[in-house]
Amino acid sequence: MQFRAFAILGCAIALGACSTTGSTDSAGSADASGPVDTPYPSTYAAYPGAPTALVGATVYDGAGGRIDNGTVLFSGGKVVALGGPDLAVPSGYTRIDGSGKFVTPGVIDIHSHLGNYPTPSVEAHSDGNEATGPTTPEVWAEHSVWPQDPGFSRALANGGITSLQILPGSANLTGGRSVTLKNVPSRTVQGMKFPGAPYGMKMACGENPKRVYGGRNRMPSTRMGNFAVNRQMWLDAKEYADGDREKRDLAKETLAGVLDGDILIHNHCYRADEMALVMDMAKEFGYKVSAFHHAVESYKIGDLLKENGVCSAIWADWYGFKMESYDGIPENAALLQQAGACVVIHSDDENGIQRLNQEAAKAQAAGRRMGITIPDAEVISWLTLNAAKAMGIDAMTGSLEAGKMADVVLWNGNPLSVYSRPEKVWIDGALMYDSLDPKRRPVSDFELGQPGEGDVK
């Protein structure tokens, strides 16, 4: 990808020098904190930034805290401090007046298909489902991600998205490994890979697998078939994991990684009864579900989800578009919050990812209408820290805390208002988007010369 004059402008405001102009692509510069056994290491390097002070804004820290007339300091790619109006701004910091505005951590989408179902949505770009067998843990979503997808820049500019998890689709019971990305322009997916982020593995239950494979007159064609195929897969995986791993098997390597606790399970599942069964299956074979995705009936089993430490990654109000989504209700998130369970708002859509803040606000409003009042500062965690926790990156991002990545959004109004938009977005302390500067809008090579090039819808 390229920025129009972005690299030059970025260096001009950096700390007097520009040793790097963006994400690298050399395997030799792989992040040392990443998994040592991965053959496709992250080569991400932060774009250059400058010490910055956001002063006078309402600050939501992502962990449920709120500071009025707050100050956020970041430098060297990390959050340095946050506090009230008395927090001193060190010399050398660029001071930005946030009066009347709001600051949040960067928005994180736990469920995206950008890059492997990119725009334009044509058959030649349809790379998210390896629907050739019901279990394909050997495939990795990153090997389908097209970094030039214009959806990445739209998500940054319109939604304040700084990190996102790209998942395989849900045609298969086991769809393969996910990948977590920093939402930055890069020529390669490795230049976007979030350094140190654990892999996830996508699983699916319910209608999709049984429809896809039952339609081919093969197993699974029923929900009991789904579970039988899954259980046999885990039995075979345990035998491999407990035995000699020297003989490589790509599928079983991923499954063994799950059993070792190194790879997180993200399970597409709608119905409450199936989620309960999946949690029992996880106990049977010794793995843990990190999050149920879509999960429109989570509100029915909030206590079980809390007890098992499983997040629900959900829409605000999608329901009724197929039988297993029939009992979805707009109050899902609020009821989960009331039960003390983990709530994450996700997109699953190239348009929805641009409006996760609005989706969270809709879910909050639905709860308020039934008498459940959830403070704005807590709602922000649904699209920041809770997502980071479920993705295993909360030690690095998801909240505004000293030492964490300076992934920050300055909103021109309350982020839970339909009228508000990101004004500026920083990733690792680098200003990646500025609504007031048309030159600071990323444009992919694919968009060059196309109608709407770099447009912010």
Render each residue's pLDDT in the chain as its tens digit; 457 residues: 433 333 333 333 333 333 333 444 433 333 434 444 579 999 999 999 999 999 999 999 999 999 999 999 999 999 999 999 999 999 999 999 999 999 999 999 999 999 999 988 999 999 999 999 999 999 999 999 999 999 999 999 999 999 999 999 999 999 999 999 999 999 999 999 999 999 999 999 999 999 999 999 999 999 999 999 999 999 999 999 999 898 999 999 999 999 999 999 999 999 999 999 999 999 999 999 999 999 999 999 999 999 999 999 999 999 999 999 999 999 999 999 999 999 999 999 999 999 999 999 999 999 999 999 999 999 999 999 999 999 999 999 999 999 999 999 999 999 999 999 999 999 999 999 999 998 888 888 898 998 888 776 5
Query: CB within 8 A of 135, min separation 6: which ones?
Result: 172, 173, 174, 229, 230, 233, 251
Residues sharing a CB contact under 8 Å with residue 122, sequence separation 6 or more, in sequence order? none
Give the C-alpha separation, 157 to 456, whole Å. Answer: 7
pTM, rounded to two decimals: 0.92
Instruction: Supply the DSSP symbol for 165.
Output: E
What pLDDT shows up at residue 18? 32
Question: CA 159, CA 157: separation in Å to the nearest integer?
Answer: 6
Crossing angle between the packed helical segments 272-285 and 223-242, to the nearest 10 degrees? 20
The pLDDT assigned to 37 comes to 58
CB-based burial, 348-364: b 16+ in 10 Å, e otherwise: bbbebbbbbbbbbbbbb
Burial degree of 23 (CB within 10 A; 0-12, 13-18, 19+):
buried
Q: What is the pLDDT of residue 2?
A: 38
CA angle at residue 134 from 131 to 137, to 5 degrees? 90
Nearest to 337 by CA among 393, 308, 375: 375
- What 3-state class would DSSP assign to 187? coil
pLDDT of 438 = 85
pLDDT reported for residue 457? 56
Residue 240 pLDDT: 97
231-241 burial string, b = 16+ CB within 10 Å, else e?
Answer: eebbeebbebb
- The answer to whether residues 285 and 234 touch, using CB atoms and an 8 Å cutoff, is yes
Residue at token pair 């490795």: 190
Continuous H helices in 260-355? 272-285, 302-308, 332-338
Residue 208: enclosing H or E segment and its boundaries? helix 207-214
In the three-class reduction of DSSP (H, G, I as helix; E, B as strand; rest coil), residue 66 is classed as strand
